[in-house]
Amino acid sequence: MSMARRLVSEGLGTAMLLAVVVGSGIMAERLADGNVAIALLANALATGAGLIALILMFGTISGAHFNPVVTLSEAFQRNMPGKEVLPYILVQVLGAFSGVAAAHGMFEHPLFFASEHVRNGMAQWWSEFVATFGLIAVIISCTRSRPAVTPFAVAAYITAAYWFTASTSFANPAVTLARAASNTFAGIRPIDAPGFIIAQILGATAATLVFCWLYPAKQKDTVSH
Amino acid sequence: MSMARRLVSEGLGTAMLLAVVVGSGIMAERLADGNVAIALLANALATGAGLIALILMFGTISGAHFNPVVTLSEAFQRNMPGKEVLPYILVQVLGAFSGVAAAHGMFEHPLFFASEHVRNGMAQWWSEFVATFGLIAVIISCTRSRPAVTPFAVAAYITAAYWFTASTSFANPAVTLARAASNTFAGIRPIDAPGFIIAQILGATAATLVFCWLYPAKQKDTVSH
Amino acid sequence: MSMARRLVSEGLGTAMLLAVVVGSGIMAERLADGNVAIALLANALATGAGLIALILMFGTISGAHFNPVVTLSEAFQRNMPGKEVLPYILVQVLGAFSGVAAAHGMFEHPLFFASEHVRNGMAQWWSEFVATFGLIAVIISCTRSRPAVTPFAVAAYITAAYWFTASTSFANPAVTLARAASNTFAGIRPIDAPGFIIAQILGATAATLVFCWLYPAKQKDTVSH
Amino acid sequence: MSMARRLVSEGLGTAMLLAVVVGSGIMAERLADGNVAIALLANALATGAGLIALILMFGTISGAHFNPVVTLSEAFQRNMPGKEVLPYILVQVLGAFSGVAAAHGMFEHPLFFASEHVRNGMAQWWSEFVATFGLIAVIISCTRSRPAVTPFAVAAYITAAYWFTASTSFANPAVTLARAASNTFAGIRPIDAPGFIIAQILGATAATLVFCWLYPAKQKDTVSH
């Protein structure tokens, strides 16, 4: 695939992911009559189902990372050239903000408005560490053992992670930045974003090291064998 | 497959789709005790699950379009002869109204009764543009890269789209017309149908152009390569 | 597979199906605090998920019919010898009652107690006709076009049918008889069972005729080609 | 795969399973506003989705048992060497407690605190017998007939079993022990754990005997042929 196609794929895919996450969050909160569990059920169901579609749509073009730490982990494993990392991350972030704006347009909000949703403290950061560790673990494991099921495994993981982590599992720096621009159900205060992103990078690093050891790649050197 | 079988497949499949969408909407509203989020959860779950079954049932016969803009997009891509477009659309519309009548019969409503559900304005039309863009995008992407998963990808996409668009994602002109004849949870005022259909056609056109470029077909000329 | 194994498979599978349907109905009603939509969501989710597991477990042994009208339709299509029909139906009915008793034991109910849940009238019978028509349609279509996905298609169909039919889709004479012995969420008055069963047989007959025409079998004569 | 990798896989996988089960239980109870059905819906959805991801992640390394009775049943069937049983069980139990601690950390609970959730009596034990019978039945059936779908079948089964058994289906001695150390939604009083574990062992034994007869292994003697 040409580089232009791959970057459009990452940008458009990340935009659609954010439209799903933020849009379904707004809809869920509007309809749920104050019951946050029902809202999160809808948000998790929509995000999981949306991810199945999006990863199947864009996976064969660009890998369907939609996530800077996934791109960094793939580059570390030499699954993509290092010089593509920066362009990938740029279009992911650009796409993420576009997706938030698209969702806000559908629900008659301003294109961007800073979130006031407080999300910080050790328990939240530990949640993001665990969430991102698991996400990278799923991706490496499935890619190396049975790649055809990866879209379903990732979507299932994120659906679960919305519920089993206290942070509802952002697990993605581009998503975190863009959700800081949405004062809705899915938002996060801009000031809280850096803590989330640091925890995500640490979780992704740990998972990459552990799972490259657990699943040694056939054709190249890996850390521990 | 003979033309007769293909038209019966499109008509019967669209009828069953509408029975699922309208029937589950009525049931959900009756049982949900005023909580619209719970009703939409049930409606989305039933529609997504129903789509998996229906696309698997009818896909190998007629392609399981159930949707005029899907048929138009397929014909534009030369995946079907142009002369079949009109018969396909006619049986889809006929099937859609039959399905609404079948659902109304199950729930003791008159066969048809005009909806009073207001759905208009820029945010709603933008929602339908986005919803249909995504639907056609999923179909082109999966059909060109891994056709066996298309039924699951389309069903997952629609489940998500019920939640992430403000219009609950009609994304289908035949469905829109038939739902105008149902004054129930899934209805739309007849006067609001044209706005939805125009937005759907625009979204489908945009997606067809973008995704034919993203996924160039092997055996024929496409727009940009 | 030996006949003994096949009959144990049909009996045990139908028992487990009823344990899932009736057990999850009791649990759902107990926990749902009077909101029937939430109860039916749980019941539909459990039944759909249970069916995936059960059809995958028993399909390669006995076909995983668990349903007299499925057995009759298969025999009509000459997919199984006619002399096995009666033993199949007998173990299905026996299994169905055993499964109800197993569920009642888990929830501290008497083994059997006649249901008082009224389910009759044209709208209910039309619902059962539609529900069973769709079930047999899914089975014939998928078996003849892509058998590996049949378990998922059937489970998805039933999940949807719990919601889009006014009767919550029994679609199975053995299930109908056994649910008459359970005065719980999933029950049906014994006096209402015959109406349901007649509608189911009519729906199954219609679907068998239509879908054997839509999907002509390769190796044998079918009705209309 | 080396023994070290397999033990890390079983330990880490069981830890993540418990983090999912206990974490989503806490989140669900916090958000559900007292409606236990909504909480259990979220808990079941998260557990089922998490299991899909975890079994796909770890299955090709260690078999993804995460459960002492699964390990015992596999060893009985000579699918793994008997000398590996004890190490497997040890890391499963160790992993289970680690996962509970990880979940408690995410939700600001003490690492461990004994549950006060009463779960005993014949109906509960019969529920655990049925739940574990079904789990082992799914695993043996799918492993012997179509192993690629096993992760989906197991996850679907457990999702259903949360609802159709009165005990919400622990079906796993390591999980039972670790959940005794969590006074949350998913907990069980330490004094009630032995009753559950005995019922689980009996259910697993029954299923192993029945399903090794139903699905005779090709290459080795089995009980009844």
Using a CB-CB cut-off of 8 Å, the residues of chain C touching B107 are 123, 166
A70 vs A66: CA distance, rounded Å: 8
Using a CB-CB cut-off of 8 Å, the residues of chain C touching B41 are 41
Q: B120 to chain A: nearest residue by CA?
A: A106
Inform me whether the pLDDT recorded for D213 exceeds 60: yes
Inform me whether the pLDDT recorded for A117 exceeds 80: yes
Residues 150-179, chain A, touching B (beta carbon < 8 A): 151, 155
B41 vs B49: CA distance, rounded Å: 12
If pLDDT is split at 50, 70 and 90, which confidence band does A222 have? very low
Closest approach of D166 to chain C, Cα-based (Å): 6
C105 touches D at CB < 8 Å = yes
If pLDDT is split at 50, 70 and 90, which confidence band does D146 have? very high
Using a CB-CB cut-off of 8 Å, the residues of chain C touching D123 are 105-108
In the structure encoding, which two tokens stand for residue B71, read together?
């048929």
CATH 2.30.42.10 assigned to D3-214? no
Average pLDDT over residues D197-213: 98
Q: Are C170 and C196 in contact (CB under 8 A)?
A: yes
> Do the chains contact at B61 and C215, CB–CB below 8 Å?
yes
B57, B58, B159: best to mutate for the C interface, most C CBs within 10 A: B57
CA D103 to chain centre: 17
> Do the chains contact at D52 and A156, CB–CB below 8 Å?
yes
Residue D110's Cβ-count burial label (10 Å; 0-12, 13-18, 19+) is exposed
Q: CB atoms < 10 A from the CB of D77, how many?
A: 17
If pLDDT is split at 50, 70 and 90, which confidence band does C222 have? very low
Task: Please tell me the predicted confidence (pLDDT) of residue C217.
Answer: 76
B113 phi and psi angles, rounded to 5 deg: -155, 130
Inform me whether the pLDDT recorded for B224 exceeds 80: no
Using a CB-CB cut-off of 8 Å, the residues of chain D touching A214 are 5, 8-9, 61
> Do the chains contact at D56 and A134, CB–CB below 8 Å?
no
What is the 8-class DSSP label of residue D141? H
In the structure encoding, which two tokens stand for residue B50, read together?
């129903």
Task: Please tell me the predicted confidence (pLDDT) of residue A91.
Answer: 98
Residue in C31, C38, C45 closest to D159 by CB: C45
Average pLDDT over residues A107-119: 96
Closest approach of D152 to chain C, Cα-based (Å): 8
Average pLDDT over residues C20-43: 97
What is the 8-class DSSP label of residue B219? S
Return the closest-CA partner of residue C117 out of C29, C218, C191, C44: C191
What is chain A written as a DSSP string? --HHHHHHHHHHHHHHHHHHHHHHHHHHHHHSTT-HHHHHHHHHHHHHHHHHHHHHHHHHHH----SHHHHHHHHHTTSS-GGGHHHHHHHHHHHHHHHHHHHHHHTT--S-B-------SHHHHHHHHHHHHHHHHHHHHHHHH-GGGHHHHHHHHHHHHHHHSTT-----HHHHHHHTTB-STT---GGGHHHHHHHHHHHHHHHHHHHHHHS--SSS--TT-
B155 vs A52: CA distance, rounded Å: 10
D180 vs D170: CA distance, rounded Å: 11
If pLDDT is split at 50, 70 and 90, which confidence band does D217 have? confident
C136 vs C55: CA distance, rounded Å: 15
Residue in C35, C50, C61 closest to D160 by CB: C50
> Do the chains contact at D156 and C53, CB–CB below 8 Å?
yes
Closest approach of D192 to chain A, Cα-based (Å): 25
pLDDT digit string, tens, across residues A43-67: 999 999 999 999 999 999 999 999 9
Beta bridge partners of B182: B113
Return the closest-CA partner of residue D16 out of D53, D42, D41, D43: D53
Closest approach of B3 to chain A, Cα-based (Å): 30
Using a CB-CB cut-off of 8 Å, the residues of chain D touching A36 are 31, 33
pLDDT digit string, tens, across residues A144-191: 999 999 999 999 999 999 999 999 999 999 999 999 999 999 999 999
Classify B155 as helix, strand or coil: helix
If pLDDT is split at 50, 70 and 90, which confidence band does C1 have? low
B157 vs B143: CA distance, rounded Å: 14
Task: Please tell me the predicted confidence (pLDDT) of residue B112.
Answer: 96
> Do the chains contact at C49 and D156, CB–CB below 8 Å?
yes
Task: Please tell me the predicted confidence (pLDDT) of residue D225.
Answer: 37
D166 vs A11: CA distance, rounded Å: 47
If pLDDT is split at 50, 70 and 90, which confidence band does A1 have? low
What is C2-45 written as a DSSP string? -HHHHHHHHHHHHHHHHHHHHHHHHHHHHHSTT-HHHHHHHHHH
Classify B88 as helix, strand or coil: helix
Return the closest-CA partner of residue A139 out of A131, A151, A127: A151
Q: A164-173, B215-224, C167-176 — which is least confidently predicted?
A: B215-224
C182 phi and psi angles, rounded to 5 deg: -135, 105
pLDDT digit string, tens, across residues C189-204: 999 999 999 999 999 9
Q: CB atoms < 10 A from the CB of D206, how many?
A: 16
CA C1 to chain centre: 23
Q: How do the domains of chain C map onto residue ranges?
A: 3-214
Q: Tally the C-alpha atoms within 13 A of residue C203's C-alpha that lie toward its C-beta.
A: 29
pLDDT digit string, tens, across residues B157-200: 999 999 999 999 999 999 999 999 999 999 999 999 999 999 99
- For chain D, the residue count is 225
Using a CB-CB cut-off of 8 Å, the residues of chain A touching B48 are 49
What is C102-143 written as a DSSP string? HHHHHTT--S-B-------SHHHHHHHHHHHHHHHHHHHHHH
> Do the chains contact at C159 and B49, CB–CB below 8 Å?
yes
> Do the chains contact at C163 and B58, CB–CB below 8 Å?
no
If pLDDT is split at 50, 70 and 90, which confidence band does B211 have? very high
D43 vs D21: CA distance, rounded Å: 7
Q: Tally the C-alpha atoms within 13 A of residue D160's C-alpha that lie toward its C-beta.
A: 32
- Mean pLDDT rounded to a whole number for chain B: 95
D8 touches A at CB < 8 Å = yes
Average pLDDT over residues D48-77: 98
Q: Are B133 and B157 in contact (CB under 8 A)?
A: no
A85 vs A73: CA distance, rounded Å: 10
Q: Are C4 and D225 in contact (CB under 8 A)?
A: no
C158 vs C163: CA distance, rounded Å: 9
A204 touches B at CB < 8 Å = no
Task: Please tell me the predicted confidence (pLDDT) of residue D84.
Answer: 97
CA A90 to chain centre: 15
Task: Please tell me the predicted confidence (pLDDT) of residue B218.
Answer: 59
> Do the chains contact at C9 and D214, CB–CB below 8 Å?
yes
> Do the chains contact at C163 and B42, CB–CB below 8 Å?
yes
A24 touches B at CB < 8 Å = yes
Whole-number Cα distances in Å, B197 to B44, B131, B194: 21, 12, 5
Using a CB-CB cut-off of 8 Å, the residues of chain D touching C50 are 156-157, 160, 164
A104's CB contacts (< 8 A; 6+ apart) are A22, A110, A111, A112, A113, A182
Whole-number Cα distances in Å, D46 to C42, C53, C223, D54: 14, 18, 47, 12
End-to-end CA distance of chain B: 33
If pLDDT is split at 50, 70 and 90, which confidence band does B217 have? confident
Helices of type H across D32-149: 36-62, 68-76, 85-106, 122-145
B192 vs B117: CA distance, rounded Å: 9
Closest approach of B5 to chain C, Cα-based (Å): 6
With tokens 């749902």, the residue in question is: C32
Inform me whether the pLDDT recorded for A225 exceeds 80: no
Beta bridge partners of B113: B182
Inform me whether the pLDDT recorded for B1 exceeds 70: no
D102 vs C91: CA distance, rounded Å: 47
- Mean pLDDT rounded to a whole number for chain C: 95
> Do the chains contact at B41 and C41, CB–CB below 8 Å?
yes
Inform me whether the pLDDT recorded for A29 exceeds 90: yes
Task: Please tell me the predicted confidence (pLDDT) of residue D1.
Answer: 63
D53 touches A at CB < 8 Å = yes
In the structure encoding, which two tokens stand for residue D170, read together?
């622990």
Closest approach of A221 to chain B, Cα-based (Å): 31
Q: D225 to chain C: nearest residue by CA?
A: C2
> Do the chains contact at D35 and C39, CB–CB below 8 Å?
no
Residue in C138, C164, C215 closest to B27 by CB: C164
Return the closest-CA partner of residue A191 out of A183, A180, A199: A180
Inform me whether the pLDDT recorded for B59 exceeds 50: yes
Q: A51-60, B94-103, B117-126, B214-223 — which is least confidently predicted?
A: B214-223
With tokens 């899914």, the residue in question is: C138
Task: Please tell me the predicted confidence (pLDDT) of residue A149.
Answer: 97
A198 vs D12: CA distance, rounded Å: 23
Inform me whether the pLDDT recorded for A219 exceeds 60: no
What is A4-53 written as a DSSP string? HHHHHHHHHHHHHHHHHHHHHHHHHHHHSTT-HHHHHHHHHHHHHHHHHH
Q: Are D50 and D16 in contact (CB under 8 A)?
A: yes
In the structure encoding, which two tokens stand for residue D156, read together?
């679907």
Using a CB-CB cut-off of 8 Å, the residues of chain C touching B12 are 210
Chains A–B, number of C-beta pairs less than 8 Å apart: 121
